[in-house]
Amino acid sequence: MVSLSLTLPTFRHGIHPEEYKKATECMPVERMPFTKRYILPLSQHTGAPVKPIVRPGETVRRGQLIAEPGAFVSMALHSPVSGTVTSIAVHRHPNGQLQPAIEIEADPFATQKLAAKPPLDWRSMSSKEFVDHVQKAGLVGLGGAAFPTHVKYAVPEGKQIERLVINGCECEPFLTCDHRIMVERADAILRGIEIVAEKLGVKSTTIGIEQNKPDAVEALRRPATGGRPVHVVPLKVKYPQGAEKMLIKALFGVEVPAGKLPLDVNIVVNNVGTMAALADYFDRGIPMIERMVTVSGPGIKRPANLMIPIGTLVRDVLDHCGGLLPETKLVVMGGPMMGMPLASLDVPVLKGTSGLLAFTEVETHFPTEYACVRCGRCLDACPNFLNASLLGRLAKAGRYEEMEKMHIMDCMECGSCSFSCPSHIPIIQLIRVAKGALRERKAK
């Protein structure tokens, strides 16, 4: 067993919410059985929606390309099952909106086995060919943001990536799918790292893992592959350490300037699940058609870590886990800090879905809100050093332009301010509304 120091690197500020990971952290990943119906929204990633290349009534195979990228910041979409396209129409998206989606009915007589494909010769690919392949694979960041992975590898001329950072923090409470990937698929993660590190020509790779996952640290600490060093660095447990800029600060002490990207400090950050999925594509020809999801929370009968085909309905996933307890009041997609409350269970699992959490009235009770007491706890909590209490007061007053001058758009909406507020002021909700209003004004 790896011995971990009590004085571990981290970033400044942040919070320490209860972990609530014990229900699933030791549960091996099981495969979700195939269901009858799948909904695949054309927009389930950051960037332009995909463009369908199939029609209603058309038969599709599992892993078949069904939609092409709609722009450079977009990625391909593949069928998660063999079956028939029943419609291309608007469906309820997990974000609550009605959006275009491809609906597929699974063939009940199909084996749903993927045909084996030979490994791709990634070493002989040019940088552009490599980026094109990652886009064709449909890979997005699996930590929750769902940013198209290939965009990070399209390094502008004159730029050089020196460090590859692999995010194994999983700092949100309840979630353990990344933890299980590191324990159960360490070989695939290291293979993905080998491919990306060589294609980007990085000098070193660092895997950041919070110290509450010692078995994951042990699983990934092994001789480097491809002749390039891979360092596994245990980190202090703190939220939101999984955010790119916070992780870079914790590992190297390097500050990514406001409005800039990790690329601007010569760093690329990828999630551990993304590395495993990338290895699956280049070694076995498997595009992104499924992902690991943690199903947990006091309101679910049987917590689990599941490998789920993209497009599976949330209701079917919860039913597979025994269903919800009668006292369940809320289901959240993602983690409890940054996830989306679901208005309907008849919405699909997306490429960016890391968790489905069921909460009872105890966890969803809203305490009485009091006036701000100017204690400054939200300032101490904000990882981006924003004046959250002042931003909240300006948002209440509708003084959005003043908020922009105070760098409101640098807020990553981690919710640390609301978590730390003793007056129970919904600061993060106020900031989200203000950011939305500012975006609408700029779009006009």
Residue 365 confidence class, pLDDT cut points 50, 70, 90? confident
What tokens were used for 240?
A: 């939101």
436: CB partners within 8 A, 6+ apart: none
Judge whether 44 and 350 are in contact, CB under 8 Å: yes
pLDDT tens, residue by residue, 372-399:
999 999 999 999 999 999 999 999 998 9
Residue 223 confidence class, pLDDT cut points 50, 70, 90? low
pLDDT of residue 225: 62
Ligand-binding annotation for 169, yes or no, is no
What does each C-alpha distance from 17 to 21, 212, 261 come to in angstroms?
11, 13, 27
- The answer to whether the predicted template modeling score (pTM) of the entire model surpasses 0.85 is yes
H or E element in which residue 401 lies: helix 400-405
Quote the CA–CA distance of 303 and 324 in Å, as a whole number. 10
Ligand-binding annotation for 26, yes or no, is no
pLDDT of residue 2: 45
Ligand-binding annotation for 414, yes or no, is yes
Give me the chain's average pLDDT, please.
93
pLDDT tens, residue by residue, 125-164:
999 999 999 999 999 999 877 899 999 999 998 889 999 9
Ligand-binding annotation for 411, yes or no, is yes
Ligand-binding annotation for 421, yes or no, is yes
Judge whether 183 and 81 are in contact, CB under 8 Å: no
Task: Pick from 317-321, 361-365, 432-436 the range whose average pLDDT is largest.
Answer: 317-321
31: CB partners within 8 A, 6+ apart: 306, 307
Phi/psi zone of residue 334: left (φ > 0), alpha (ψ -120 to 50 degrees), beta?
left
Ligand-binding annotation for 177, yes or no, is no
Ligand-binding annotation for 372, yes or no, is yes
In degrees rounded to 5, what are phi and psi of residue 148? -55, 125
